[in-house]
A = this chain, B = another copy of it.
Amino acid sequence: MTLQGTSLIGQQAVTGDQAIIRAIDPSTGEALAPDYPGLDRDAVARACELAGAAFEAYRETSLEARAAFLEAIAAEIEALGEPLIERAMAETGLPRARLEGERGRTCGQLRLFAAVVRAGEWLDVRIDPALPERQPMPRVDLRQRHVALGPVAVFGASNFPLAFSVAGGDTASSLAAGCPVVVKAHSAHPGTSELVGRAVQKAVAGCGLPEGVFSLLFGAGREVGQALVADPRIQAVGFTGSRAGGLALQQTAQNRPQPIPVYAEMSSINPVFLLPEALEARATELAEGFVGSLNMGAGQFCTNPGLVIGVKGEALDAFVAAAGEAVKGSAAQTMLTPGIHAAYADGVGALAGEAREIARGPVGEGPHQCQTALFATRGADFLRDEALQAEVFGASALVVECADLDEMHRVAHHLEGQLTATLQLDDGDLDAARALLPVLERKAGRVLANGWPTGVEVCHAMVHGGPFPATSDARSTSVGSAAIQRFLRPVCYQNLPAGLLPEALQDDNPLKVSRLVDGKRE
């Protein structure tokens, strides 16, 4: 497929006439053809109008039809073959294996949501049958299901050009919920976005769905995204990116005549707590595991471990020394964009002014490469200086040396909201872990033991979310099957004649879904 540099509005390819986006190969600094001219506000409105028009039919597609559509998207993405991987490599500087893995994850995610749609747990069916004889008042027949919120605006993320972009987790969960999607492509990987967008477009046509179920918009700057979130047809927003970007969208969403929910995954430094026995027993092993996690994807994961907390002493010194050595041996990696590299350099520079430098990785040979960075500070200083909690997006971490376990506790309490919190612990650390756990549960969406936060399983129990500023809505997850719940709302039906009841709520349970009948699970 030849890239055409167009947005996709329903089944149409539309060439914008606004400022041009041009992809840059971050490993060479060279621009990649073709140009992607941005759309104007009228084109954004057209996409939203189509999405609005498609909503009624799409939200009531059968579970099977919707699941088949999600599977068709996965098949169409796979059918793109090698050109997708090559274009993504050129646009992101990410290695082949990572992108092949990410493609697998993206398609697996679409197929998981197909299974989720078929299983129907998301309908949250509740039936309270009529009690005509109840005293002092009879009870009417009441039935509840969940329905789709409406068209969703999805913002592609820079750091997952496939799994959190055009057909990524936000898109898959919106479509699964019955919501048409209008994607604002991330300007860092327009070609990858166009390829995947055309795959989705093909699946829409192949499944005979209304064209407005999916559109893909390009736009330099913020205008297209802001217009999209402000459009009255849009009913929810999915976003992964910076804190400033997420908060700006949140503001726009709140200032609409009808405010809408924004699910923004924004900022997390993912603290790792090294408990004393574990640290004593395996400081070097922990240091190596830590730096391996820190360097994954050039540190450009939302769950990158940017903060390590331990009690000062010989064992922590050994950890820091070994981690420093591992950092020095960390090959420079190309970052996603020149802008991200520049922000990383600034962030590391700022940390260098606040904390003690332990080690830097070697200078790379190409442009836009990160030098892994490790800093240390005292617990007391961390508690004093909010700036030490600022996320540095990329392979940079700070070790906090606490005076004792009490100070470690205070550091935990002092943390902002996080996507993850990790405990490294041995059997002898159970009491210390038990004391920390309630604090960590309040700070993070996922608490893990003896692992590293990078690597987010796409499954039913996953929570990729967490208290502000990790996300704008701690009640949700953007990874895993529960992500579908973000795009649903409950509707109750009272005394509806059987002939009017949605299939999910009919007496004989034709969809064979799990139901809560009179409060009891069936």
Contact = CB atoms under 8 A, between A and B. Distances in A.
Interface string A411-430: 00000010000000100001
A469 B142 CA distance: 24
Given A147-B441, A463-B491, A490-B445, A140 B451 contact: yes
A521 interface: yes
Interface in A378-433: 417, 425, 430, 433
B60 A438 contact: yes
Contacts of A51: none
8 nearest A-B residue pairs (beta carbon): A448-B494, A463-B492, A144-B461, A126-B461, A142-B461, A446-B492, A128-B459, A514-B521
B494 A449 contact: yes
Interface in A93-134: 115-116, 119, 121, 126-128
Interface string A434-474: 10011001101111111100010101111101011100111
Contacts of A261: 473, 475
Contact of A477 (B250, B444, B490): B490
A497 interface: yes
Nearest to A417: B258
A282 interface: no
Interface stretch (A76-84, A325-333, A481-489): A481-489
Contacts of A250: 254, 259
Contact of A433 (B128, B144, B147, B500): B500
A416 to B, nearest CB: 8
Contact of A500 (B115, B430, B491, B519): B430
A448 B141 CA distance: 10
A449 to B, nearest CB: 5
